[in-house]
């Protein structure tokens, strides 16, 4: 292959290998030239873009700087306004503080004067209350002692006094006023082998007997070696009642002082022995009165029944009236027993209430003294403790007034 040189016009023979090398050089030269051209164009574009970006960045920076300056000016204006508001608020707070301190100082002086006055009045009231409580305690003690004494008199023992003599004396105290037509004497008739202690009989104004009671009195000292039981005497008492033709039988006894049944009041024993009752000595007069009053209400009936018997009138009416009388008597005995138990319970409650009242008064006196002690311990310094503003105010007032 022959190629001609473009510069000298000389033909140059080339084989295929040479040709390829020449062709490669031409292509490389064109590629490099194109590459340099394009690099130059890219460099120009880059420089243009860089300048444009730099210009835009400078513009943005200027705008941001402007915005920052505007914001700073705005913040400065706001700070200035806030500073003015703070100064005004501080000025107002100081004025209020001065006024508060002045009011607090005046209040403290008033409180101190009031405390001094109240303390003086409390001392006077304490003396009055102490005197009043002492009088009340004395009254309560006297009432408790009186009630205890009264209850003791209702006890089941007749201390230092013979039971038969006691009952006889109690009856004789009322004989002239309450038992003018009654008979109450010792039973000295032992011709039938046995006798009771006392027999009570009462009569209508025309001399008709309408009630009769056989009494047996049993008393035993605490030092007795052999202790009897009330039941040991029921059978003999029933026998004596029948022998002496008495309608009722009553055992008056101080035996078995701890037995709750016998201490409950009037005990009806008619379920074992006809018309028999058990009582403690304190029920002696009430028992006679109860039986007699019931019998008085039926005295006219008895008189009519006696006439009816004499006239051979049907005994059915007699039985009916007698049963009615027995029912009324049993019911009244039960009611009397309930009233007595209720009275004893009320006495116990009253003693308990008075004792509690005494304890409350003593407790009130103690609490009053504690209150006065606490009042003495109250100071203005303690009142303002834990309140910083008041503590500071009190400290300033104390320095200025020396309180």
Q: Can you give the CATH number for the domain in which 253 is found?
A: 3.40.1350
227 neighbors 260 (Cβ within 8 angstroms): no
CA R_g for the chain: 63
Q: Same domain for 79 and 113?
A: no
Domain boundary among 253, 272, 297: 297
For the stretch 280-307, pLDDT in tens is: 999 999 999 999 888 887 776 766 766 6
Return all residues near 321 (Cβ < 8 A) that are at least 6 apart.
298, 301, 305
* CA gap 248, 292 in Å, rounded: 11
Residue with tokens 């009045």: 121
Global model pTM greater than 0.85: no
Q: Same domain for 119 and 195?
A: no
Q: Same domain for 287 and 186?
A: yes
* CA gap 125, 371 in Å, rounded: 13
Torsion angle in degrees (nearest 10) through CA of 384, 387, 388, 391: 0
Q: Same domain for 189 and 169?
A: yes
Domain boundary among 83, 116, 131: 83
Residue whose C-alpha is closest to residue 328's, from 303, 304, 297, 283: 297
| Number of structural domains the chain divides into | 3
Q: Same domain for 77 and 97?
A: no
Residue 6, in any domain of the structure: no
Residue whose C-alpha is closest to residue 227's, from 236, 219, 237: 219
DSSP 8-state class, residue 253? E
Tokens of 183: 């008979």
The predicted structure's pLDDT at residue 318: 63
Range of the domain at 105: 92-141+362-401
The predicted structure's pLDDT at residue 85: 81
For the stretch 295-350, pLDDT in tens is: 887 776 766 766 666 665 556 666 777 777 777 877 877 887 787 778 777 777 87
Tokens of 114: 């009031």
Tokens of 88: 């005004």
The pLDDT confidence band at residue 134, using thresholds 50, 70 and 90, is: confident
Q: Same domain for 174 and 234?
A: yes
Q: Same domain for 184 and 281?
A: yes
Q: Same domain for 106 and 162?
A: no
Burial (CB < 10 A; 0-12, 13-18, 19+), residue 336, is middle
Domain boundary among 40, 59, 83: 83
Residue 342, in any domain of the structure: no
For the stretch 147-185, pLDDT in tens is: 555 445 444 444 445 888 899 999 999 988 888 889 999
189 or 255: which leads in pLDDT: 255
Burial (CB < 10 A; 0-12, 13-18, 19+), residue 307, is exposed
- What is each CA distance from 134 to 128, 130, 145, 352, 373, in whole angstroms? 10, 6, 16, 19, 20
Over residues 374-403, the mean pLDDT reads 66
374 or 86: which leads in pLDDT: 86
Residue whose C-alpha is closest to residue 256's, from 236, 239, 231, 238: 231
């Amino acid at each position: 292959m022959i190629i001609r040189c473009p510069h000298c016009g000389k033909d140059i023979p080339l084989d295929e290998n040479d040709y390829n090398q020449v062709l490669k050089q031409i292509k490389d030269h064109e590629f490099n030239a194109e590459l340099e051209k394009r690099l130059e164009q890219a460099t120009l574009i880059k420089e243009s873009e860089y300048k444009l970006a730099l210009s835009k960045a400078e513009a943005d920076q200027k705008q941001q700087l402007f915005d920052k300056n505007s914001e700073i000016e705005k913040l400065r204006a706001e700070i200035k306004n806030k500073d003015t508001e703070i100064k005004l608020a501080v000025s107002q707070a100081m004025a209020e503080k001065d006024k508060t301190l002045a009011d607090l100082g005046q209040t403290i002086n008033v409180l101190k004067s009031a405390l001094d006055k109240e303390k003086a009045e409390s001392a006077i009231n304490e003396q009055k209350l102490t005197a009043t409580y002492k009088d009340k305690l004395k009254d309560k003690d006297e009432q408790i002692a009186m009630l205890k004494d009264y209850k003791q008199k209702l006890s089941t023992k007749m201390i230092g006094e013979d039971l038969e003599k006691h009952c006889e004396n109690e009856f004789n105290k009322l004989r002239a006023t309450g038992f003018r037509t009654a008979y109450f004497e010792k039973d000295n008739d032992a011709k039938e082998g046995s006798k009771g202690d006392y027999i009570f009989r009462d009569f209508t104004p025309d001399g008709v007997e309408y009630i009769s009671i056989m009494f047996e009195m049993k008393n035993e000292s605490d030092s007795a070696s052999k202790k009897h039981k009330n039941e040991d005497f029921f059978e003999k008492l029933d026998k004596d009642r029948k022998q002496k033709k008495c309608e009722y039988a009553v055992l008056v006894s101080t035996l078995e002082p701890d037995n709750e049944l016998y201490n409950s009041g009037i005990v009806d024993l008619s379920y074992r022995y006809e018309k028999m009752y058990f009582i403690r000595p304190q029920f002696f007069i009430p028992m006679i009165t109860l039986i007699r009053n019931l019998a008085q209400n039926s005295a006219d009936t008895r008189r009519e029944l006696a006439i009816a018997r004499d006239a051979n009138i049907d005994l059915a009416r007699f039985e009916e009236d007698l049963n009615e009388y027995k029912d009324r008597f049993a019911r009244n005995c039960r009611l009397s027993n309930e009233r007595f138990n209720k009275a004893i319970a009320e006495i116990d409650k009253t003693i308990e209430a008075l004792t509690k009242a005494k304890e409350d008064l003593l407790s009130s006196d103690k609490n009053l003294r504690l209150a006065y002690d606490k009042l003495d311990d109250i100071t203005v310094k303690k009142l303002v403790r834990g309140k910083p503003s008041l503590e500071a105010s009190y400290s300033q007032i104390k320095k200025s007034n020396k309180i």
